[in-house]
Amino acid sequence: MAKEFVPNIRQLPKFMKEDPGILPGHRACAGCGCAIILRQLMMARRKPLVIANATGCMEVVTTIFPYTAWKTPWIHVAFENAAAVAAGIDAGRNKLQRSGRFSDDPDVSVDYDVVALAGDGGTYDIGLQALSGALERWHNFLYILYDNEAYMNTGIQRSGGTPFGAWTTTTPVGSKIKGKPLTKKPIVDIVVAHRIPYAATVSPAYWVDALKKFRKGLETEGPAFIHAFGVCPRGWRTDTKDTIKLSRLAVETCFFPLYEVVNSEWYLTGPSLTIAKNPERKKPVEEYLKLQGRFRHMLLPENKWMLEKFQELVDENWEIILKRAKNV
Amino acid sequence: MQKVVKQRMMALNGDEAVAWAVKQSNVDVVSAYPITPQTLIVERISEFVHNGEVDMEFIKVESEHSALSACVGAAAAGARAFTATAANGLQLMFEILYITASLRLPVVMVVVNRAPSGPINIHCDHNDTMGARDSGWIQIYTEDAQEAYDSTIQAFKISENPEVLLPTMVTLDGFFISHTLQNVSLLPDEVVHEFLGVRKVPKIKVPEIHGDKEVPLMLNPRYPLTFGPLDLFDYYFEHKRQQIEAMMRAYKVIEEVHREYAEISGRSYGDGFIEPYRIDDADVVVVGLGSTMGTTKTIVDELREEGKKVGSIRVRVFRPFPRERLKKVLCNFDAVGVLDRGISFGHYGQLYTDLCATLYGVKDAPAMIDFVYGLGGRDMPPKLLKKIFEEVLEARVKGPEPVFRIKGVR
Ligand SMILES: Cc1ncc(C[n+]2csc(CCOP(=O)(O)OP(=O)(O)O)c2C)c(N)n1
Ligand code: SF4
Ligand SMILES: [Mg+2]
């Protein structure tokens, strides 16, 4: 791996101005955390990217013919196949590179990093098979899951990434069943079980940590996976100004711990490492939940058990990660 | 006119013939998933790759959905991409079939025709590719292993033609062709290389993004393009119209490629679209697709011996449908029997309905009868074919009713 990349706050604005990768003017909602993830990915580039984007919010808000927000070669094919499309791009690039196909064409470059970009629906659920296949085949690409915890593009339906208790339009708060009765699939565990060289979690609130991880993912030889925390004010019923605050609280409450898994070895990073060393800094999850309309019912006295269960689930998950982490 | 080149004869079955065509066609990326009766194609290509006999990337995907998705990615990246499948595999690709065509990517796919489940079956009928006839792919139905080989090579040239830029599906009948040994003439590698070259990427103008510059239509950081954006009622229809027009332009290209190939190889299949057999003075003909039309020729010969004026026409290209050619030729006969190895439940066989649409309102249109046969690989014995011809001959006096007849079923 190359020398560790440290984002340079002085050079970044210039870099992003000259070569933004993605332009403003797209139609993401105000306060969309997922759009911030895309910008941060662009800030971490070592060379141009080619992006295969699954159907979902990021695909829809960045394009509508004849407009595009992408100043990066970009392709959208379908919902469940971002990893397979990326695999094809990887294979095509390999063959073109080794045969020197376009070496004397000044209009073409085949030197780029391949990125697959998909939401939680396109990853935990309908895209899991294509993802697993691409990881097993060891394609050289970075898969980015932007997790807004529901099918937002189709109007806030639950996914395998929707957390316990959350309201969505298919897990309504009814008189009998309140929100999602099940929990979030441990997607990073599933991915890491493929023994890929690099996996990590990022939250846009911790942008230096995020940029470093994006860069590592891009530099990885073979498959890499990043699980990015993507606040969705529209679907979570949150205030647009709270996006970064929520991105921080998710980490501070250990609902979304930050870590990386390098060759199957787990390392906590940034604030999560600090909390591991100073457990008193771990905030109660209620602080995170109470800002979100989708969890409002869980704060009512009669649903106290839900809040308690949510906290238990967070604690359990955090314990598991603490046990795995090599650096605590 | 070019001289016909010297060729090597090999005993190959249809699947192997396709694998050889792929091996010689400068394919950059193969992405495929095994399914009977297509498996020999992926096995042979795997052997070529693993023995270092060909330099290509073979992505051994986890499903057909991913097989075609990866071909789309590879083709958008500027590579020549190939896949092969059958029945259930093709059905799993269904969503991506339409997308490949609408992205105008010149992917080539061989489908070894197999009856769709259920009940699960592995033998030949045409309902699998007939289900995909509206997806925007060019469809070529071949009669034997030699033609499967020839057509696979031609398919790349057709698809990649800048006037076309549509994916092509070449089909061969499961087991009847895929697993039947035949003497196949193979062109020398260098002749195929010269015929096809490597994949060339067309240049397009995208004034909104790249001004006057003609930029390569591929995923390319020098001139970034957006493939597959959201496209609603304000432009989608225009893009569909472009697909319709590209299909219309494909007629000429298919014909040219077929002719050019014939000059090198010495082999042609009618005019590339339809292959008539002994029709000149015929009173009635039988029209059909695929391997059955080989047997049909034998029956035509036998009936001719008996003094009956019969002939046959094989439809080779099903999409774009050779409607002008068929319109012209079919009006010469009193009655036409259509062989359909497929059925649109609740209607007729697919070839029959397309022929009816072609001949609607045409003066002197023949009487037409639909013979649905061979579903799930049910054999079409010569005796049955003869019977069909006799029924068509009878229709000259008795008329075509009933026009829908199921043959070879208990
Ligand atoms: C095969 C298929 N099934 C369903 C859909 C409808 N659909 C489009 S986007 C989407 C949800 C996307 O959810 P996610 O991946 O979480 O992305 P988000 O919109 O939340 O960013 C669904 C269900 C589709 N396009 N394709
Ligand atoms: S619905 Fe949510 S994820 Fe989609 S653009 Fe709006 S805020 Fe972003
Ligand atoms: Mg989502």
**What is the interface size between A and B, counted as CB pairs within 8 Å?**
187
Instruction: Report pLDDT for A4.
Output: 87
The answer as to whether A227 is a domain residue is yes
Of A182, A181, A215, the C-alpha closest to A198 is A215
Phi and psi for B340 in degrees, rounded to 5? -115, 115
CA pair distance B273, A80, nearest whole angstrom: 37
Q: CB A327: neighbour CB atoms within 10 A?
A: 12
- CB of A34 sitting under 6 A from ligand 2: yes
Read off the pLDDT of each residue in A113-122 and give the average, rounded to a whole number.
Answer: 98
Q: Which residues of A touch B208 (CB under 8 A)?
A: 66
* CB contact at 8 A, A122 and B63: no
Instruction: Report pLDDT for B3.
Output: 85
DSSP symbol at A325: B
Q: What is the pTM of this model?
A: 0.98
**Interface pTM (ipTM) of the complex?**
0.97
Domain B8-200+248-265 CATH superfamily: Thiamin diphosphate (ThDP)-binding fold, Pyr/PP domains (3.40.50.970)
Instruction: Report pLDDT for A84.
Output: 99
Closest partner residue to B62 (CB to CB) among A90, A111, A129 is: A129
Q: Which of A63, A64, A71, A85 to mutate to test the interface with B (most CBs of B within 10 A)?
A: A85
Which residues have C-beta within 8 Å of that of residue B82, sequence separation ≥ 6? B22, B25, B27, B29, B30, B31, B32, B71, B107, B108, B109, B110
Dihedral angle of Cα B49, B193, B178, B311, to the nearest 10 degrees: 180
Could you give the strand order of the β-sheet that contains A224-229, starting from the edge strand earlier in sequence?
A265-268, A259-262, A198-202, A224-229, A142-147, A113-119, A49-53, A74-76, B226-227
- Residue numbers of the domain that contains A287: 12-324
Bond prior to B37 in cis (omega within 30° of 0): yes
- Which CATH number fits the domain that encloses residue A311? 3.40.50.970
CA pair distance B356, B217, nearest whole angstrom: 39
What region, left, alpha or beta, does residue A258 occupy, with left being phi > 0 and alpha being psi -120 to 50 degrees? Answer: beta
Q: Residue with the nearest Cα to atom 13 of ligand 1? A: A151
- CB of A7 sitting under 6 A from ligand 1: no
* CB contact at 8 A, A33 and A231: yes
Kindly report the length of chain B: 410
Using the structure block, give the residue that is written with the tokens 């998705």: B69
Residue type, B228: G
Residues of chain B by 3-state class (helix, strand, coil), percent to 5: 40, 20, 40
Using the Cβ of A94 and the Cβ atoms of chain B, whether some distance falls under 8 Å is answered with yes
What are the pLDDT digits (tens) for A207-227? 999 999 999 999 999 999 999
* CB contact at 8 A, A257 and A251: yes
- CB pair distance less than 8 Å for B70 and A91: yes
For residue B339, list its beta bridge partners.
B371
Q: Which residues of B touch A73 (CB under 8 A)?
A: 219-221, 224-225
Residue boundaries of the structural domains of chain B: 8-200+248-265, 274-406
* CB contact at 8 A, A243 and A229: no
Residue B291 to residues B69, B143, B175, B352, Cα–Cα distance (Å): 30, 4, 10, 18
Among all ligands shown, which has an atom nearest to the Cα of A232?
Answer: 2
Above 80 in pLDDT, residue B1? Answer: no
Above 90 in pLDDT, residue B262? Answer: yes
pLDDT bin (cut points 50, 70, 90) of residue B151 is very high
Structure tokens at B105: 């990517």
Read off the pLDDT of each residue in B219-248 and give the average, rounded to a whole number.
Answer: 98
- CB of A168 sitting under 6 A from ligand 1: no
pLDDT bin (cut points 50, 70, 90) of residue A2 is low
The answer as to whether A220 is a domain residue is yes
The answer as to whether A90 is a domain residue is yes
Instruction: Report pLDDT for A3.
Output: 80
Which residues have C-beta within 8 Å of that of residue A188, sequence separation ≥ 6? A199, A201, A225, A227, A261
Q: What percent of chain B has pLDDT over 90?
A: 99
Task: Give kind and range of the element (H or E) at residue B263.
Answer: helix B236-265
The b/e string for A79-114 (b: 16+ C-beta within 10 A; e otherwise) is bbbbbbbbbbbbbbbbbbeebebbeeeeebebebbb
Q: Which of A72, A96, A132 to mutate to test the interface with B (most CBs of B within 10 A)?
A: A96
Residue A184 C-alpha to ligand 3 middle, in angstroms? 13
The answer as to whether A2 is a domain residue is no
Q: Say yes or no: domain B274-406 is CATH 3.40.50.150.
A: no
CA pair distance A175, A216, nearest whole angstrom: 47
Structure tokens at A328: 């605590």
Which residues have C-beta within 8 Å of that of residue B398, sequence separation ≥ 6? none
* CB contact at 8 A, B312 and B395: no
Closest partner residue to B31 (CB to CB) among A60, A67, A88 is: A88
Q: State the smallest CA–CA distance between residue B162 and chain A in angstroms.
A: 18
pLDDT bin (cut points 50, 70, 90) of residue A304 is very high
The answer as to whether A4 is a domain residue is no
CA pair distance B357, B350, nearest whole angstrom: 11
Structure tokens at B368: 């037409």
Which residues have C-beta within 8 Å of that of residue B285, sequence separation ≥ 6? B276, B279, B310, B311, B312, B313, B330, B333, B336, B337, B392
Read off the pLDDT of each residue in B27-51 and give the average, rounded to a whole number.
Answer: 98
The answer as to whether A61 is a domain residue is yes
What are the pLDDT digits (tens) for B337-384? 999 999 999 999 999 999 999 999 999 999 999 999 999 999 999 999
What are the pLDDT digits (tens) for B78-121? 999 999 999 999 999 999 999 999 999 999 999 999 999 999 99
* CB contact at 8 A, B404 and B370: yes
Instruction: Report pLDDT for B405.
Output: 98
* CB contact at 8 A, B32 and B112: no
- Where do the H-state alpha helices sit in chain A? 12-18, 33-43, 57-62, 82-99, 128-136, 187-192, 207-219, 233-236, 243-252, 270-277, 286-289, 304-324
- CB of A62 sitting under 6 A from ligand 2: no
Closest partner residue to A93 (CB to CB) among B63, B77, B224 is: B77
What are the pLDDT digits (tens) for A12-68? 999 999 999 999 999 999 999 999 999 999 999 999 999 999 999 999 999 999 999
Residue type, B39: T
**Window 242-301 of B, Cβ < 8 Å to A:** none
- CB pair distance less than 8 Å for B215 and A84: no
B274-406 and B8-200+248-265 share a CATH fold: yes
Task: Give kind and range of the element (H or E) at residue B350.
Answer: helix B350-359
Bond prior to A13 in cis (omega within 30° of 0): no
Instruction: Report pLDDT for B69.
Output: 99
For residue A156, list its beta bridge partners.
none
- Give me the number of domains chain A comprises: 1
* CB contact at 8 A, B230 and A59: yes
The answer as to whether A49 is a domain residue is yes
The answer as to whether A5 is a domain residue is no
Cα B216 from chain centre: 28
Closest partner residue to A91 (CB to CB) among B74, B103, B230 is: B74
- CB of A68 sitting under 6 A from ligand 1: no
Above 70 in pLDDT, residue A274? Answer: yes
Residue A148 C-alpha to ligand 1 middle, in angstroms? 12
CA pair distance A139, A133, nearest whole angstrom: 9
